Amino acid sequence: MKFTAPDRCRFFDIARVSALESVAALDVLVAKGRCSADEVLAGKDRLGSVVSMLVALIKANSEYRLHDGDRE
């Protein structure tokens, strides 16, 4: 099945939000004292890379969406 560009953008948006929620979960682990900030740093860095890739995919598949950098 072939997905349209809006479909792909929706999927990428869902993945981006999930990655950001994962970063927040790591912050909660640190706040609750379950992990140190150093222990979660690698995971947060990896998730940051994932979010950046997803944002690029959203922009590449979306001519009609208003991007954050395009706002005046």
Identify the pLDDT of residue 72: 42
Identify the pLDDT of residue 49: 98
The Cβ of residue 33 has, within 10 Å, a number of other Cβ atoms equal to: 7
16-68 tens-digit pLDDT: 999 999 999 999 999 999 999 999 999 999 999 999 999 999 999 887 555 55
The torsion region of residue 33 among left (phi > 0), alpha (psi -120 to 50) and beta comes to: left
3-state helix, strand, coil in the chain (%, to 5): 75, 0, 25
Tokens 């790591």 belong to which residue? 26
Identify the pLDDT of residue 64: 59
Q: Are the C-beta atoms of 29 and 40 separated by less than 8 Å? A: yes
Identify the pLDDT of residue 66: 53
Q: Judge if pTM exceeds 0.85.
A: no
The helix/strand/coil state of 20 is helix
